[in-house]
Amino acid sequence: MFIGEPKIYLLLVKQPLKKQLYQCLSGSALEIKSDIEGRRATNEFGTVVWQLNEIWPTGGWGSLEYGTPVKGQVIGGRWKPVHYLYARSVFTDVTSTCWADNPPQCYVKNDGIKAFSGTVLISIINFASGKMTTVSSNMVSLAPGAGTSHWFCAKNGANNQCSSWSDILAMGNTTSPNEAILIISVSSGSTVVSKNEFALTTIHNMKLPKPNVTYLVSPNGQITLTTDQTAVYVTLTTQAQGRFSDNFFLMTPGRTTVSFIPFGPLDINTLTSTLRIEHAQLYQ
């Protein structure tokens, strides 16, 4: 029925294909993240992901896209969302996450060769308001790794007892895990060494506002993003050769800046003309 009408056909398949790819890449990223966090919790060493790079163009489990000298592809492979998660928290030397027990148990782990002293900060963000509230702040001191870990819980300031999930949700001004997300960050001084967006439910069940995410690209490849509502798993894509300094992240109302790191000379025209911004609510 579409013979002689390629433009109509492309319009009909383009949006569903974008949705399918975004959901596949997001789902695989969060599944792999959860799996590796569980393995690190049990001090399992030598974890090798399957797989690093795709061997043909696909929305599969590889963290680097298939990359050959073909228009639209990035030489060496465009970073998929899970590859950014590897860099941000999953495979950082020092990382922290929580378990779904009630009250939730959390760990901070040092697999680096140097001792670590710093702070683990757990915050909750209410999707609707965008407000971030501190749940717990813990000072930690870890001997050199690999395998040094410390288990802790989010303590209630009033009675110094472990907070339940209902307590934590109440701090975020909600009673539903569908309406909030945790941010678990590990810092040494002013330097954030790991940042973990800890989802409390699946993307499908998140009650997300409809954000208006805009961007401005500077001549040196700095990208300033602005949103008026909470935007979850913001993902940037471009045909320019390179990667972003960060991707697949959460934004609260306001601005954030991301750098584009070119593989070779910066092609600012391709970066600007092909830049696409997606987020979870867009495909719910």
- Shared domain for 106 and 134, answered yes or no, is yes
Q: For residues 152 and 108, what is the distance between their CA atoms, to the nearest angstrom?
A: 8
* pLDDT digit string (tens) for the chain, length 284 residues: 444 556 665 667 788 889 999 999 999 999 999 999 999 999 888 888 888 999 888 878 899 999 988 888 999 999 999 999 999 999 999 999 998 889 999 999 999 999 999 999 999 999 999 999 999 999 999 999 889 999 999 986 667 789 999 999 999 999 999 999 999 999 999 999 999 999 999 999 999 999 999 999 999 999 999 999 999 999 999 999 999 999 999 999 999 999 999 999 999 999 999 999 999 999 99
Rounded Cα gap, residues 79 and 240, in angstroms:
12
Q: Last residue of a domain, which of 202, 222, 247?
A: 202
Does residue 195 share a domain with residue 111? yes
Residues 118 and 175 in one domain: yes
What is the pLDDT at residue 59?
A: 79
Domain count, the chain: 3
Nearest to 28 by CA among 65, 60, 67, 64: 60
60, 136: one domain: no
Specify whether 260 is located in the same domain as 180.
Answer: no
- Looking at the fold, whether 198 and 129 belong to one and the same domain comes out as yes
Q: 244: alpha, beta or left, given left = phi > 0 and alpha = psi -120 to 50?
A: beta
Same domain, 231 and 272: yes
- Give the contacts of 32 (CB within 8 A, at least 6 positions apart): 49, 61, 82, 85, 90
Please say which residue of 60, 91, 122 terminates a domain. 91
Instruction: Give CA 218 to chain center in angstroms.
Output: 24
CATH value at residue 223: 2.60.40.10
162, 180, 202 — which closes off a domain? Answer: 202
Q: Are 172 and 252 found together in one domain? A: no
pLDDT in tens, 1-30: 444 556 665 667 788 889 999 999 999 999
Q: How far apart are CA 260 and CA 267, in angstroms?
A: 10
CB 111 within 8 A of CB 146: yes
The domain in which residue 269 lies consists of: 208-284
